[in-house]
Amino acid sequence: MKSAQRTSRPLALAMAAMVGLPLALSGCGSSTAASSTEAVTEISVMDYYNNEPDKSFIGDALTKCGTQLGVTVKRETVPGKSLVSKVLQQSSSKTLPDVLMLDNPDLQQIAATGALAPLADFKVSTENFAEGVLSAGTYKDKVYGLAPTVNTIALFYNKDILAKAGVTPPTTWDELKEASAKLTAGDQYGLAFNANPTYEGTWQFLPVMWSNGGDEKKIDTKETEQALQLWTDLVKSGSVSSSALNWTQADVKDQFLAGKAAMMVNGPWQIPALDKQPTLQYGVVKIPVREAGQTSVAPLGGEVWTVPQTGNKARQAKAAEMVACLNSDENQLAMATARNTIPSKTTLSDKFASDNPKLATFTELIKTARARTGQLGEEWPAQATKIYTAIQSSLTGNASPADALKQAQGQ
């Protein structure tokens, strides 16, 4: 035994060195042995805005807040897909940044690990925020993240194509089906949406499901079945290309831009691309509801800013001030205008909507928009998988909407 231990020690040391080396290299200054009186001069920030122009917009806001708080901002941007795995690595090596941005449906997973600090600990104000925004940032009754600006999806329509066909933007499902059918001709489809087997497909289905009273906790209900029937009918009748089963939201935008879809379900982040084509005249309306009188409920998108548990109270307090600064009225309006997103405080919506008429519909929707994780918490990924699985099996004709939902719920 003894000799075995002796020989294995160098190996263990070597392994420890190799494992520890990257940690030491990436440990960008979240030293744990600091008193709360220490003056904080630097704050590390991590987010996934790694593409222009968002990269600069967010960078400017961070620098501005940094100057205001008297700290330099050390920012790292990582690709969106690798953010969560990076955060998990950093939590196990205790090298989380001082301020961390998360996509709102991921907040639950990270908050559940205990890696985040409740914002109430630092007296960050949560007043005036839209209900959905707060619920997206809340895990087990505590607010961990705040989103300065948010977004959602609505129905874009090509004004010229609709005018030529004598169609007005639909408000109910029947009108939507009728309009889509009328607008389908040659290689032009009436409507484009995304129903791919990822969370994006689920996200685009949520408005029809929620507006009709569908429940994400239990999906084999009449309400959700009706919603899935609508999606299925649209594809089966040929008003929506069956390619929707494989499209991303960016593909949907390309179809709309190319005039191959008269209407599309999409979000305000596509507006810069649409505006680049001056010949394109488009309008935005709420996603239709089954019966007039129902409220169009849209899912809430956007990123929340959080304060990880780094163990350094002074830096954490500064980080919380940074989150508060990003969420000041002035910064919310500035970032929303620059990035075609919506301020998350309802007190700002009237002013914002009148200043930005293009975003008026989205601003209206945010007031009632729901967080994907509001009811499910960390169960969201599993349930979202069931929802897109059901959508796929119904849209391909593998099962009726009712059977597809029943199978998926039982999975």
Partner 1 sequence: MSLATDLPHSKGQTTGGAAKTHGLGTGQPAPRRRTRQRRERLFQWLFLVPAVVYMTLFFGYPVVKNVVMSFQEYTTSTFFTGEAPWVGFANYVTVLSSSLFSTSLLNTVLFTIGSIVGQFVIGLSLAIFFQRKFPLNGILRSLLLLPWLLPLIVSSAVWRWILDKDSGALNRFLGDLGIIDTGIPWLTSTSLALIAVVGVNIWIGIPFNMTILYGGLQEIPDELYEAGSLDGATGWKAFRHITWPMLRPVVSVVLVLGVVYTLKVLDIILGLTNGGPANSTQTIATQSYNLSFHEFKFGEGAALGNVLVIISLVFAVLYLRASRRAVDE
Residue span binding partner 1 (CB under 8 A) among the ranges 50-58, 208-216, 312-320, 385-393: 385-393
Give the nearer residue to partner 1 in terms of CB position, either 67 or 242. Answer: 242
8 Å CB contact between 150 and 366: yes
Under rule CB under 8 A, residue 398 binds partner 1 = yes
Q: How far, in Å, CA of 346 to CA of 94, rounded?
A: 36
Choosing from 12, 13, 15, 185, the residue that interacts with partner 1 (CB under 8 A) is 15
Taking the complex as a whole, the smallest distance from the CB of residue 369 to partner 1 amounts, in Å, to: 23
Give the nearer residue to partner 1 in terms of CB position, either 50 or 294. Answer: 50
* Dihedral angle of Cα 62, 272, 282, 278, to the nearest 10 degrees: 140
Q: How far, in Å, CA of 109 to CA of 88, rounded?
A: 10
8 Å CB contact between 268 and 340: yes
Q: How far, in Å, CA of 45 to CA of 29, rounded?
A: 12
Q: Which residues contact 123 (CB under 8 A, 6 or more apart)?
A: 320
Q: How far, in Å, CA of 195 to CA of 242, rounded?
A: 9
Choosing from 197, 213, 283, 311, the residue that interacts with partner 1 (CB under 8 A) is 197
Choosing from 51, 198, 295, 347, the residue that interacts with partner 1 (CB under 8 A) is 198
Q: Is 214 helix (H, G, I), strand (E, B) or coil?
A: coil
Taking the complex as a whole, the smallest distance from the CB of residue 61 to partner 1 amounts, in Å, to: 28
Under rule CB under 8 A, residue 393 binds partner 1 = yes
Q: Could you say which DSSP state residue 399 is in?
A: S
Choosing from 183, 389, 401, 402, the residue that interacts with partner 1 (CB under 8 A) is 389
Separation in Å, CA 355 to CA 162, 274, 342, 348, 363: 27, 19, 12, 11, 11
End-to-end CA distance of the chain: 49
Give the nearer residue to partner 1 in terms of CB position, either 112 or 120. Answer: 112
Choosing from 56, 67, 72, 246, the residue that interacts with partner 1 (CB under 8 A) is 246
8 Å CB contact between 266 and 216: no
Choosing from 17, 112, 163, 292, the residue that interacts with partner 1 (CB under 8 A) is 112
Taking the complex as a whole, the smallest distance from the CB of residue 199 to partner 1 amounts, in Å, to: 8
Choosing from 61, 230, 395, 402, the residue that interacts with partner 1 (CB under 8 A) is 395
8 Å CB contact between 186 and 243: no
Taking the complex as a whole, the smallest distance from the CB of residue 240 to partner 1 amounts, in Å, to: 11
Taking the complex as a whole, the smallest distance from the CB of residue 243 to partner 1 amounts, in Å, to: 5
Taking the complex as a whole, the smallest distance from the CB of residue 67 to partner 1 amounts, in Å, to: 32
8 Å CB contact between 315 and 122: no
Q: Which residues bind partner 1 (CB under 8 A)?
A: 11, 14-15, 18, 85, 88-89, 91-92, 109-110, 112-115, 187, 196-199, 241-246, 258, 260, 378, 381-382, 385, 389, 392-393, 395-396, 398, 407, 411
